[in-house]
Amino acid sequence: MTSPLEQKKIKIAGPSIVTANRTWDGIVVYRTAAKSWSADLSEAAIVRNSDEAKALLAESVADDVGAIGPYIAPVQVGADGKIEPGNLREQIRRTGVTIGQSAQV
Amino acid sequence: MYAYDEIDRTLVNERVSEFRDQVKRRLSGELTEDEFKILRLQNGVYLQLHAYMFRVAIPYGTLATNQLRALAHVARKYDRGYGHFTTRQNIQFNWIKLAELPDALEDLAKVGIHAMQTSGNNMRNVTSDQWAGVAPGEIEDPRIWSELIRQHTTLHPEFSFLPRKFKIAITASDHDRAAIKIHDIGLRLIKNEKGETGFEVLVGGGLGRTPFIAKTIKHFVHGRDILSYIEAILRVYNQYGRRDNIYKARIKILVHELGIEKFSREVEEEWQHIRNSSLQIDDEVIEDIRSRFTYPAYEKLPHMPDELRQAAADPDFEAWRKNSVAPHKNQGYSIVTISLKPIGAPPGDATAEQMDALADLADKYSFGEIRVGHEQNLALPHVAKRDLPALWKALDKLGLATPNVNLITDIIACPGLDYCSLANARSIPIAQELTRRFANHELANLIGRLHINISGCINACGHHHVGHIGILGVEKNGEEVYQITIGGRADENAALGNLIGPGVKFDEVADVVEDIVEAYLALRERPEELFMDTVKRLGVEPFKERVYATR
């Protein structure tokens, strides 16, 4: 779960997506193939090599009004095409805090 | 309570208008995120995992009931119904929308609350003892000096772009509840032989990646010179502090690299240039600030009222009283700590309903005043002893009477990977599990005073270095791993803990802590020997052996 803030080089080891937070309200969003943002991970554009990742990230960074802090994150893609977060950090961003109680209010 | 004047109100209101305009320009695309980021940070707005996080300052930990109600209102109207009290007398809201932030700030400004300098490379919220003004034996109320420094450093142009953030804490009691030795500047209020107020000044404390305990730079600085002396320190830091490497930018690194002697010579030289300037504080200035603090009209009350004598027969009340109620400087009154550490709950969280209800109780029982401590608990500073039983019953109904203050379940924890974009591992679930393991009050009481601190990354917002037991979450090969230290403390004898051995997995942390506690119970010479004393007497080895013998 190395913080993406420490992401210095773009090097991906498997299927990845670009994620960010929507500017006006901060919610978690994913870059889509339609050059837009979606709150639904299943709509995220998948990249599979560094060049694709760089291009998707560059396009995401350019959409500064739509979302902020974009970075590349790993995902797992099932045989049925279903996309799941590739690490705990992204799992928490997708499904919420793991602590119950007041945090789930 | 401190009454703000027209200048304060104007400043806060102007800031809200300014930020409203900045947000509008950001949302329209007129400002890029790069341009806007520094502006939002100067108003306490971070971007975290799930959303923006909004940090609001509670200067020197003092809140009026209308202010607590305003925080409850923000939690309810703009967030998800709760707030999180931090280790530096701030409150954080985790789900705020950028578009609504100006409205939230405007609502807070109506009661004199703001978020200025709760983030960014400037002077952060000046913190103090949450028992300031009511602690027995206190030399004088340190909040008067905290307020002086707050006024001087708020939006100070010379110190708005420091190499890195800068934190000051002040105490005026022998027992340090403000953790001054882990601050950039720590001030210990003392009197000289003439009875004049001044400060022992400590510098270069801090945790994070490179922890240091602060060193004394000057044994006595007269009160009238304290602003010029702080300014001299800041000028030396501003000039020589590193801006090329964020990990080496705090003043603690500069003090360490120069050495305290050389650093103090630099400060002394600078100080001589400015000490006899307008920075010298007239007595009238201090008296004016002092006059703006109001103190309750205490009654003359018995030391042991009938209500308290009768309630003592209830073991549940007594369990709470022993851990939550502390002596007050005035006979017949007590300081009551409100635990925000219910078993199984995130440390430091309070719901809007709890905040509103607590404000009502503070109006009824504590002259309308609430305090916030760095341990992520609240306090009612002026409770008549006769009211303690009724207060306890009311707190219990709100889930705010957990009798665990200073016990093993009174855990300090940062938000960790559940919220924080910097975190590598979760903190809160570790705290929750530990509170369940030690939920039995008799067991927790048998163990006695024991502070656990948990951080989800090396930035150490949970102050793990100074926990009696410190837990640091790191990431190793994609997994959460936790390093355990023992022997740290944040009080007047502040010390950094020592690592007991290799890190352990998420699921093993509570077991390891149980092992450490079992070792302590077996090793202590008598029940009164606290965990810290046993560690001091025996060192890390026996605990290490106990933990790793079977792992």
Q: Is the CB of residue B344 less than 8 Å away from at least one CB of chain A?
A: yes
Q: Give the C-alpha separation, B143 to B161, whole Å.
A: 25
Q: Is the CB of residue A61 less than 8 Å away from at least one CB of chain B?
A: no
CB atoms within 10 A of CB A103: 22
| Whether residue B381 sits in one domain with residue B417 | no
Question: Which residues in chain B touch residue A25, judged by CB atoms under 8 angstroms apart?
Answer: 51-52, 97-99
Contact A102 B345 (CB under 8 A): yes
Q: Which two tokens mark B448?
A: 């006695």
Contact A26 B50 (CB under 8 A): yes
Whether residue B126 lies inside any domain: the answer is no
Q: Is the CB of residue A10 less than 8 Å away from at least one CB of chain B?
A: no
Pairing outcome for strands B45-47 and B82-85? unpaired
Domain boundary among B225, B257, B292: B292
Q: Give the C-alpha separation, B460 to B519, whole Å.
A: 26
| Whether residue B140 sits in one domain with residue B75 | no
Q: Is the CB of residue A13 less than 8 Å away from at least one CB of chain B?
A: no
For B419, nearest residue in chain A (alpha carbons):
A97
Phi and psi dihedrals of B501, rounded to 5? 160, -165
Whether residue B152 lies inside any domain: the answer is yes
Whether residue B343 lies inside any domain: the answer is yes
Contact A26 B424 (CB under 8 A): no
B349 contact partners, CB below 8 Å, separation of at least 6 = A101, A102, A103, B82, B83, B84, B85, B340
Contact A21 B52 (CB under 8 A): yes
> How long, in residues, is chain B?
551
Q: Give the C-alpha separation, B191 to B196, whole Å.
A: 5
Domain boundary among B333, B364, B397: B397
| Whether residue B247 sits in one domain with residue B198 | yes
| Whether residue B507 sits in one domain with residue B418 | yes
Q: Is the CB of residue A88 less than 8 Å away from at least one CB of chain B?
A: yes
Q: What is the pLDDT along chain B (551 residues), one digit of tens a residue?
A: 788 888 889 999 999 999 999 999 999 999 999 999 999 999 999 999 999 999 999 999 999 999 999 999 999 999 999 999 999 999 999 999 999 999 999 999 999 999 999 999 999 999 999 999 999 999 999 999 999 999 999 999 999 999 999 999 999 999 999 999 999 999 999 999 999 999 999 999 999 999 999 999 999 999 999 999 999 999 999 999 999 999 999 999 999 999 999 999 999 999 999 999 999 999 999 999 999 999 999 999 999 999 999 999 999 999 999 999 999 999 999 999 999 999 999 999 999 999 999 999 999 999 999 999 999 999 999 999 999 999 999 999 999 999 999 999 999 999 999 999 999 999 999 999 999 999 999 999 999 999 999 999 999 999 999 999 999 999 999 999 999 999 999 999 999 999 999 999 999 999 999 999 999 999 999 999 999 999 999 999 999 999 999 88
| Whether residue B390 sits in one domain with residue B416 | no
Whether residue B334 lies inside any domain: the answer is yes
| Whether residue B277 sits in one domain with residue B158 | yes
| Whether residue B140 sits in one domain with residue B185 | yes
Q: Is the CB of residue A64 less than 8 Å away from at least one CB of chain B?
A: yes
Whether residue B39 lies inside any domain: the answer is yes
Q: Give the C-alpha separation, A28 to A44, whole Å.
A: 12
| Whether residue B330 sits in one domain with residue B231 | no
Domain of B354 in residue numbering reads as 306-397
| Whether residue B105 sits in one domain with residue B24 | yes
Give yes or no for a contact between B176 and B255, defined as CB atoms under 8 angstroms apart. Answer: no
Whether residue B405 lies inside any domain: the answer is no
Contact B346 A98 (CB under 8 A): no
| Whether residue B458 sits in one domain with residue B426 | yes
Q: Give the C-alpha separation, B38 to B31, whole Å.
A: 11
CA distance B358 to chain A (A): 17
Tell me which DSSP letter residue B78 carries. Answer: H
Question: B538: domain CATH number?
Answer: 3.30.413.10
Residue B136 parent element (H or E): none
- For an interface test with B, which of A19, A28, A68 has the most B Cβ atoms less than 10 Å from its Cβ? A68
CA distance B238 to chain A (A): 26
- For an interface test with B, which of A76, A97, A104 has the most B Cβ atoms less than 10 Å from its Cβ? A97
For A74, nearest residue in chain B (alpha carbons):
B478
For B49, nearest residue in chain A (alpha carbons):
A93
Q: Which two tokens mark B363?
A: 């109006």
Contact A21 B419 (CB under 8 A): no
Amino acid sitting at position B493? N
CB atoms within 10 A of CB B246: 12
| Whether residue B242 sits in one domain with residue B151 | yes
Domain boundary among B228, B260, B292: B292
From the list B82, B419, B432, which residue is nearest A105 (CB)?
Answer: B82
How many domains is chain B partitioned into structurally? 4
Question: B23: domain CATH number?
Answer: 3.90.480.20
Q: Give the C-alpha separation, B402 to B2, whole Å.
A: 30
Give the global pTM: 0.96
Contact A26 B52 (CB under 8 A): yes
3-state SS track over B441-458 = HHHHHHHCCCCEEEECCC
B126 contact partners, CB below 8 Å, separation of at least 6 = B59, B60, B146, B149, B150, B153, B168, B169, B170
